[in-house]
Structures are given as C-alpha cells and as structure tokens.
Amino acid sequence: MRTAHASKPVHLGDFTARPRMLLITALALVVGGTGSIAALALLRLIGLVTNLVFYQRWSSALIAPGSVHHPWWLVLGAPVVGGLLIGGMARYGSEKIRGHGMPEAIEAILTGGSRVQPKVAVLKPVSAAISIGTGGPFGAEGPIIMTGGAIGSIMAQLLHLTANERKTLLVSGAAAGMAATFNSPLAAILLAVELLLFEWRPRSFVPVVAAVAVATVCRGSLLGTAPVFPVDTSGLHLNPTLDLLAAVVGLTGGALAVAATWLVYRAEDAFARLPFHWMWWPAIGGLIIGLGGLVEPRALGVGYDVIDQLLTGRATLGLIVGILTVKTLIWSLSLGSGTSGGVLAPVFMIGGALGAWEGMAFPHTIPGFWAILGLAAVVGGVMRSPLTGVVFTLELTHAWGTLLPLVVASTAAYALSALVLKRSVLTEKIARRGLHLTREYSTDPLETFFAREVMLPFDHADALTEHDDVTPERLRALTGPGNALLPVVDTLDGTLVGVTTRRRLTEVSSPHTVPGTVREATLPCRLAVHPNHTLRQVAYLFAETGLSSAPVIDPATRRPTGVITLRHLLHARLHDLTEEHHRERVLPRQADADPVPAAAPARAEAA
C-alpha cells in the first residue's frame, strides 16, 4: 500500500496577501481621513497653546512666539513650565510620548507587533502642543506621525489582523498625518517607504497610497491646496555652475547635519548622567530653550513664518545667523532631554538658514534658491532620506525647476552623512534601545535562485523503492550522513511515496534475520518542494514546518528530482558575498593579452 503524501500549505508573503490587499486598502481609506483630522487638530492645538501662553488670548491660529516682544521672564519661564508638564505626562501617563515620534513609531513596528497604546494617541499630540506652544523649537510632523500611526494601530487592534497588516495601517495613519500637515502626498509616501515600512510590496504600498490620497483631499478642504511655502521660480535659469555649487551646499549641509546629530546624542548622554529622574529632564531642556529665546526669539516655536521668509529670500542677515546658531543649539540640546516634538520643521529652518547664508556669496538666481537647496541638503543629511528630502522640498515650495540642483545637494549631504556617521538621528536612537535596524534595501539573494539550481540531484537508477529489502549491501551503497533525507518511490511509476534516512534503514536491517523492507523505515512526506520554487519560498516552507530538508518533486509527474537542505540555501548567500567582495579584471589590458599575429587584423577586417 502506498504511503500517503502530505505537503503542509504555507503562506508565502504576497502570494496569499494579495486577496486581503483590498480589505486593508479599504480600512486605510478610513485611517487616512481620520489622520487628516488629527493633523488639523494638532495644528489648532499648537496655535491655541501658543496664543494662550505668549499672547494671552483665545485663538487657534498658528503664530510664532517671537512675533512681538515678550517679557524676559515669559520667554525664559514658559519652556520650563512646558517641560515640567511633559515630564509629568511621560512619567504618569506614557513614556512613549518622549522623543520626536519617528523612532517610537519604528520601535512599535520592530518590537511591538505594530501595537500602540490608545492613550498615546491622546497624550502625544497634547504633549507636543504643550512643548511647541510654550516655545519648544520643534515641528508638528513627528508627533502627528506617532498620532496618525496610533490611530491606524488602534483600528487594526480592534480587528482580526496579522502583525504585517497592523503595520500597514499604522504606517498608513502616519503617512496620512504627514501628508495632511504639509500638503505633501508623494513625500509622505516616500517617507513611509524609506523609514517605516521596511519593504516595497503591493500589500503595504497600495494601502499607504490610498490613505495618503484621502488625507490630501481632506487637507484641501480643511486647510487649502496651496503649497505651504510657495516660491516664485519664473526667473530661474540653471547652468552647470549652479549645479556644481549645489554640491557645495550639499556638503556643507551634510556637515551641519553631522554636527547637529552628534550634538543631539551628546546631549542625550549628558542628560542620562544626571543624578535625578528623567521626568525633570524636559524642564532643563526648557531652560536651554528659554535662554536661546532671549538671544533670538524667532528661534522659538515651530517657525513656519521664519521658514517662509528664508525660502522666499526675505530674511535678514541677523535672522539668518540667529537661526543658524541659536536654533541649531537649542533644538539639538533640548531634543536630547527627551521632550516631545518633531525634527522636520527645525531641520527645514536650519537648512534654509544655511543655504540663505551661503547664497550671499553665491551667484544670484531667484530669491530663496540657495535656501531651498540648503533645506533639502540638511534633510538628506539628518534623516538619511535623500529622495524624501528632494520631494518634500518640491512639494513644500512648488519650485519644480530646481529638481536637479536639489538632487545634487540632497545626495551630497546624504553621502557625507553616511561616510562620517554610523547611524542617523533616527536609527541611533533605535540602536541605543538595543535594536538593530538597517535602511539599506537590496534584492534578497534567496529570490534569485531556484530550488532546481542548488538541489542535490536524485538518481532514479539507484532509487529506494518501498519494496526493497534493507540488506547490508544496500546500506553500504548509500552515501551521506545518517540523517540525510532519502526519497522513497513507488515501484511501478517512480512517484514519491515517502521519505526515510540511512539511520532509520539501519534500524530495520539485521544481518542475522530476514531483512526488513524500505517500507518499514518510510515516513510520510511532510513537505515537498517544486523545482521552480525560489530559495526564499523554500526558506519560508522550512521555517513554517520546522524541517531542514525536503525532496524536490516534479509537480506534473510527482517524481522526485532531487533533495534540498538548509545548507543548499547558503549557496545564494555565498553567491551574493562573492559578487560583493571578489574583484577580478574582466577585460585584460593590452600588455596582458596574447600576442596577435600581424595578419590577424587583416582577417578580422575581411571578415
């Protein structure tokens, strides 16, 4: 009687995720609309706190703390009081509100199964509004990323979804909030791919785009469709000199990004050495902010008005230098205290100030041209997301004609940052929490090989059939270790009926009695691999079944064609390693080539 064959089904990434993609996309539409409302609520809340603290009036309009003169005690004391409130909220509410949002969202994805506590969705925007509204030099984008992500995660936790599907909805909410805040749909999508998804697959990409599209449409109804920082490029005429100078802006922006990132984590190290609870650290960070505000009041708050002046060429030299020095220092030092606030808006301002300062020595093109390049450069260096930096700048300004210089500046800054710093301002925080995060995307080498290319071929002439006697001679003819998998085939048609090992065959063999048969040592086949399965599919199958070897069978004939093991999967990794490290000269130099007879060129020409 033939042994039954059972091959356990396995879910292989997108192969079975595609039917659920429409469901997750439908849920992402809801998340996108909710994320846009959360973004509007956060902006209004920041405006309300700013007006109450610095102008003593009831208004939700966004306004900078330094627009008018304020008493010194208010400038100095408001950030300290805000820091005390945030420290208390973090200690007695949720520690997850500390920081600038994106590392916390990444950590939730990496270690928390994309689960975010519901209270974070409330505490994070409130703490950010208090931080920024009391003068904190931060942006709203980090908190809205965490808040939007929390909204998507909470919805996912209410439903029966996988961790990957929860991640997709979390990132959909984060990207939706980002798009609604800055009217930057493509940059929000790129940010999701470069920083949060850790993959580029239809199952996650399509829902994120759907959420961002809904959020952008809703944003148009709530806040308008105009660019946040419109720039007139009607007189722009690019030339190679400008592109070359764009690289200079990129390198200086990268150097500033390196310095700011280094300063953030030196400040964090300094705060960690303080002899009292971290609850009090944001208040000390607030004191640093207040002192900076006494020097340059325009460095306080989210600073959208200052960014607009820098990008449109209306900033004075005093404002440029003040922002470049004071904003960089108070942002870097206070962020290390663990307070709540985002990094993008401060980076926009610092980068814009750097570019505007350099533009005073560079050829004049259009107002704000060099500030635009400086913004993209510092974003590319600090965030290590050069494409996001370019697209973000274009969507914020609608200065589409500056595309090539932006690419040059952002990439130059990214290159310098990658060469000098081991990690970015985002991934360093993740690493300090004991996690490993890579943001280098490449094709999985397991996807480039098929099972048929690496398997141990099966010899049908020497195959074990279920009715064979297990004699000592038959055992000696078998090669390989005792636990190596051996396919067992049907006597008549050669189809697979089960598997065995040399060790099991030895157990049924006896030199003193009638030898047993192969059937007695045969087990049902729990897993069979097809020749056209990629090694990545095979790895998934091994992981799900807990096996380390399997027969490879022809799906049409059910006859085995080979055996594949975990060791064979290393072939792809070895190939990838060889391509990366093995150096060889493919085309020989003329001096190394074989001598060619004088008549050879003539024959070649004749041919």
| H or E, element range at 501 | strand 496-501
Q: What is the predicted pLDDT for the residue at 147?
A: 84
Q: What is the predicted pLDDT for the residue at 1?
A: 33
Pairing of the two strands 549-553 and 560-565: antiparallel
Residues 6+ apart with CB under 8 A from 186: 391, 395
What's the mean pLDDT in 40-56? 91
Q: What is the predicted pLDDT for the residue at 510?
A: 62
Asked if the model's pLDDT at residue 207 lies above 60, the reply is yes
Which of 125-158 are b and which e, b meaning 16 or more Cβ less than 10 Å from the residue's Cβ?
bbbbbbbbbbbbbbbbbbbbbbbbbbbbbbbbbe
Contact of 182 with 228, CB cutoff 8 Å: yes
Q: pLDDT digits over 344-383, tens only?
A: 888 889 999 999 999 999 998 999 999 999 999 999 888 8
| H or E, element range at 356 | helix 344-359
Question: Helix, strand or coil for residue 456?
Answer: strand
Integer-rounded Cα radius of gyration of the chain: 31
Q: pLDDT digits over 543-563, tens only?
A: 998 888 999 999 888 889 989
Q: pLDDT digits over 103-144, tens only?
A: 666 777 766 677 778 888 788 888 888 999 999 888 877 788
| H or E, element range at 214 | helix 202-223
Tokens of 97: 């509100």
CA–CA distance, 319 with 304 (Å, rounded to integer): 14
DSSP 3-state helix, strand, coil percentages of the chain (rounded to 5)?
60, 5, 30
Q: Which fold, 240-432?
A: Clc chloride channel (1.10.3080)
List beta partners, residue 486: 500
List beta partners, residue 563: 456, 551
Distances (CA, A) of 511 to 301, 454, 474, 486: 89, 37, 12, 22
Contact of 338 with 432, CB cutoff 8 Å: no
DSSP 422: S
Q: 3-state SS of 33-69?
A: HHHHHHHHHHHHHHHHHHHHHHHCCCCCCCCCHHHCC
Q: Where are the chain's structural domains?
A: 18-223, 240-432, 445-581
Amino acid sitting at position 59: S
What's the mean pLDDT in 174-187? 91
* Among candidate residues 144, 152, 143, the one with its CA nearest the CA of residue 171: 152
CA–CA distance, 590 with 148 (Å, rounded to integer): 62
The residue behind tokens 């990439």 is 411
Segment among 8-22, 73-87, 465-479, 512-526 with least mean pLDDT: 8-22
CATH homologous superfamily, domain 18-223: Clc chloride channel (1.10.3080.10)
Give me the helix-helix angle, 386-397 and 403-420, nearest 10°.
150
Domains 18-223 and 240-432 are alike in CATH topology: yes
Tokens of 50: 């700013």
Asked if the model's pLDDT at residue 444 lies above 80, the reply is no
- Alpha-carbon dihedral of residues 520, 521, 522, 523, nearest 10 degrees? 110
Tokens of 109: 């994805």
CATH number of 445-581: 3.10.580.10
Residues 6+ apart with CB under 8 A from 357: 317, 320, 321, 324
* Among candidate residues 417, 405, 341, the one with its CA nearest the CA of residue 379: 417
CA–CA distance, 437 with 427 (Å, rounded to integer): 7
Asked if the model's pLDDT at residue 3 lies above 50, the reply is no
Q: How many residues does the chain have?
A: 607
pLDDT tier at 502 (50, 70, 90 boundaries)?
confident
